[in-house]
Amino acid sequence: MAFSSLRGASSGLLAALKKRPRLRRRQAGASAVSKPAAENVPNTIASLAPLTKIISQYLDPKDVERVKEAYRFADQAHLGQFRASGEPYISHPIAVTEVCAGWKLDADSLMAALLHDVMEDQSIPKQDLAEKFGADVAEIVDGLSKLDRLEFATKAEQQAESFRKMLLAMARDVRVILIKLADRLHNMRTLDAVNPEKRRRIARETLDIYSPIAHRLGLNALFRELQDLCFKATYPNRYRVLHKAVMAARGNRREVLSKITEAAKAALPAAGIEAEVSGREKSLYSIYTKMTEQKKSFSDVLDIYGFRIIVHTLPECYLALGTMHQLYRPVPGKFKDYIAIPKLNGYQSLHTTLVGPYGTPVEFQFRTREMDHVAEEGVASHWLYKEEDVTLNNLQKRTHQWLQSLLDIQSQTGDSGEFLEHVKVDLFPDAVYVFTPQGKIISLPRGATPVDFAYTIHTDIGNQAIASKINGEFSPLRTELRSGDAVEIITSPASRPSAQWLNYVRTGRARSEIRHYLRTVKYEESVAFGQRLLNQAFDKLKLPHPVDDDPEWEKLAKGSGASSREEILADIGLGKRLAEVVARRFAPENAMLATTAAAVDEITSTANTAILIHGNEGQAVQLAPCCGPLPGDAIIGGIRLGHGLVVHMEECAVAQRQRAREPERWIPVAWDTNTARHLSTRLDVTVLNERGVLGRIAAEITDADSNIIHLTMQDDATATGVLHLTVQVDSRKHLAQVIRAIRHVPQVQKIVRLKG
């Protein structure tokens, strides 16, 4: 839209805004109130001059004028609105836009920053913004707006949904989160105006969500400032005391710092390296964190100062490192090469800790000017939207992959709280760096396992993982990975994710993919099994099977709170509905009688209607762990609420007790002629406690084509002991072969199969 038409189109809405009632500000941390014109009118005047000066350095005049037009619109929209500090509210959007201008964001971003509260505070429609300022600006502002117009059960639910909307908008356009971070930074800088309780709540939210996102995007200067501001808001007294201590230490250690600076500035040119040397203090929050985690007093934290050496080329980073290692003795184990293996957020630098004068440990960082720029401003230093055809660098590719993963997680997660949980997992633990078999470096959070690695490579590899090799040796899937490990995943098309994996995965993507698979597969299996149970019920009642589009399905769904036929079938498969009761809804009216206990007994005694069991149906049909039935055993099935069909041995004491309580939930089942292999059963083996007996028993079990999957031993320091074995067999006949093989060991005295 041309500027002239933009100005003309906005004039009518500006006039209308003058008549709009002012709405109370609701956004956390940026408290604003409406005041009568004569009451406490502040003297502060919000000026656009500093912002204009910044943006004029990199935007063309036409774009500068577009930004000014957005300012005039926002100024009129917020007229009469004041912050809790007493300043005109427009001062906040201007300050946010100045932060964005420091990152050299484009004109659309700056316009969205100026307008970021007009939809939320003044209820200006998104369509109006799109018509006046363009679709991009409207989309960004919409992504920044909270969801106050919707009703939520709890504050936590509202916050989770707001974060989800913001992060998904960020996944589509990273400018959303850059403006949101600038917004949160200014709110934190002006937090003194709100009450202490609200101040602490906003600080905690910032520390949990916004600060890690800043780190994830490589905005380290912003990351450190947010942490310090949160520390100040949460523990004002501790902040004040620690700040005073650091100021005092700065004076006490001035001599040490000046000595190191002079030595470095002399040694580097002597080695032919032109470098910029600067000293820096660790942030107060990082010092406080180190004190609390390591239980140290301030006087024990020696490395509160560090030095940054900036050179021209990458090889000079390593030359400067060697020069400083000759000057001061390095501390073993304190060297990190983030140039060869950058952090996830694109950070590159060499880190080393040296023992300076008087035994003081001092950290040095070596980087080029380009690396320093990325280290401080992250993704904003090479902004993705400057040129559409620009080739993405590694930082941008990693950022794009992470943003895309947010969309993948969203597609598999319906609940806002669960989505936020997955995202927070990735924000932002320490990383470990492992290698694929092809030598590619993969970065994972500390504590990650081969399952996390598998899902990072591809969803199908994660879903089909059965084992892993770490550095060429087979290792359990729950093994914690370490930096430098070479990892290979062994897959099988027959494998499927296990709910147990959720206990030890660390990445949000792996957790989301596993939960999504378990939910989807369980639902599909439950629908299929529910159809089998319902067909059986129709056969028992001698009723015709209804077609899928029978109108009775819709009536039944509406009357029982289900959304579809599939949901009714899934409920039957999960034991939430009885198949006979559903089947009777399709009977002629005179046959719709209540099921009596006698009728149930008559129905369930019919052998030819038994459900056939394969043993590998999935989550809808489970073999009871209490008795471990095997093909060949007499079995019976119980419909357990939320679990589907649970198959027991007929003689199982647990099954007999449950059947006596709820006979209507038990149905006849029988083994199919083609059953699964490798079913588990438990044995107690009493043996003479002699050397080598366990090895001989294991060898006999292997020779019988079986496998031990779990083993414990009860040893009371007597002549005998009891081995508790869980073995894999194909059938009752195969189990008999295994038992005969175990009896070949002379030390075996007794073998008992556990059936309850």
Q: Which of 592, 418, 655 is nearest to 519 (CA)?
A: 418
Residue 683 host element (H or E): strand 679-688
CB atoms closer than 10 angstroms to residue 689: 14
Assess whether 121 carries a catalytic annotation.
yes
Quick one: tokens of 412?
A: 């598999």
SS3 string of 439-486?
A: CCEEEEECCCCHHHHHHHHCHHHHHCEEEEEECCEEECCCCCCCCCCE
Give the Å distances, CA to CA, from 251 to 28, 244, 247, 258, 628.
39, 11, 7, 11, 73
Assess whether 388 carries a catalytic annotation.
no
Tokens 């200006």 correspond to: 124
How many angstroms separate the CA atoms of 669 and 637, rounded? 6
CB 577 within 8 A of CB 568: yes
What sign does the CA torsion over 69, 72, 76, 79 have? positive
Instruction: Calculate Rg over the CA atoms of the chain.
Output: 34
Q: Please tell me whether residue 649 adopts helix, strand or coil conformation.
A: strand
Q: Please tell me whether residue 650 adopts helix, strand or coil conformation.
A: coil
Q: Which of 81, 64, 99 is nearest to 189 (CA)?
A: 99
Catalytic position from the list 120, 183, 525, 571? 120
Catalytic position from the list 69, 87, 98, 121? 121
What sign does the CA torsion over 307, 312, 315, 320 have? negative
Residue 568 host element (H or E): helix 565-573
- DSSP structure class, residue 502: G
CB proximity list for 320: less than 8 A, separation 6 or greater = 268, 271, 273, 275, 309, 311, 366
How many angstroms separate the CA atoms of 700 and 47, rounded? 87
How many angstroms separate the CA atoms of 78 and 95, rounded? 15
The residues that are catalytic are 120-121
